Structure 1
């Protein structure tokens, strides 16, 4: 009997000591709390990246009226789903739903100052931070205009796409104008040829020099003239 009392007493003393140490050092001995995320993320400057993230709290994945926060290593909230709490980084967005155990983070138009460590914090039936599963974000130099990377996670800024779209549109418009110009030119030359009688030659003026050309040569000169007019006006 005396041995049992001594054992119980010892267990209680050890428990109290551990609890005291844990409180002093802000330990968190919580089972049933987990977080799955890629802890190292690299994104190019001016590009966007989505970081998939899932968590459990108290062995649960479904909650009501919960909130999620992503914090910097200095414990500053950078993104929040709580309407009453504003994140310090507008380009950091929690695109996941904490009520469904989703802590997915999206960074848009990444900047060099966005590089650093961040961790997720959950607020629901209990409040718990997953600082032990922090992520490290590394923002590299922006890509060249000729380099565009597209996949399901990374998405470069719209600037490169706009440039490509403008170039493509300009080429299409130029080709269309050339085609229309050639159509009316051919139509006019065919009519003139019928009226003039077959292979009659015609005078075409290029610059300050008058040249006598055949129908084919005239078409070539006019085509080049239309092309240069369109090119100089674009």
Structure 2
């Protein structure tokens, strides 16, 4: 019986590597830091007036803390020059419009308040969310952010260090 591996010629190895990279890119997006990964569809299309559930999972480095505090998740629609100023710390802001969160201290715009919902269990690494009654103004690039007492991290890039977000289309 031979070894559990075999030597491949360079062309075959390159072709297999390209297939793996392409399959990964089609599956979703990942952050560039191996401690902070996320998987989300590259794009989702939803017809105007309908609903969509967007699956999302993430990992993050807890830094060895046994009690990191409550984990907050934030979904942002990255639109133009909009910035969200955090209610509990107005000196901090993030680019975009806050559309869904489990942080009850944050104010959501009336246009998204009852239509966007963070449905995932953040403690289980689930950052899924839903959009109800989709509108054309919901179209755009979205990104996810997590925070606790010690951590602030936005999932906006993939392992290739290129800008990658979830794109929602409302045709």
Q: Is 1:36 paired with 2:39?
A: yes
What stretches of structure 2 of length at least 5 have no aligned partner? 1-30, 80-94, 158-163
Q: Which has the larger helix fraction?
A: 1
Larger Rg: 1
Residue in 1 aligned with 2:53?
50
TM-score, length of structure 2 as denominator length = 0.60
Asked if 1:135 is matched to 2:138, the reply is no
Match of 1:67 among 72, 90, 98: 72
1:39 CA drift (Å): 1.5
Query: What is the DSSP-based 3-state SS (H/G/I as helix, E as strand, rest coil) of the residue aligned with 1:44?
Result: coil
Aligned-pair Cα RMSD in Å: 2.3
TM-superposed CA distance for 1:59, in Å, is: 6.9
Do the aligned partners of 1:36 and 1:54 also contact (CA within 8 Å) in 2?
Answer: yes
Greater relative CO (CA pairs within 8 A, separation 6+):
2
Aligned in 2, Cα 1:102/1:68: closer, same or farther, shift over 3 Å?
same
- Measure how far apart 1:86 and its partner are: 2.4
Q: CA deviation at 1:31?
A: 3.4
Gaps of 5+ in 1: 1-27, 141-234
- What whole-Å deviation, never above 9, does each CA across 1:73-129 have from its counterpart, x for those lacking one? 142211111010123322111111212211001000001111111100011241100
TM-score, length basis structure 1: 0.44
1:107 aligned residue: 131
Indicate if the aligned counterparts of 1:93 and 1:105 stay in contact, CA closer than 8 A: yes
Structure 1 residue 131: Cα displacement: 1.2
Deviations 1:33-70 (A, max 9, x none): 0000102000011100000000001179xx65100000
4+ residue runs over 2 A deviation: 28-31
Task: State the match for 1:126 in structure 2.
Answer: 151
Q: Distance in 2 between matches of 1:130 and 1:113?
A: 22
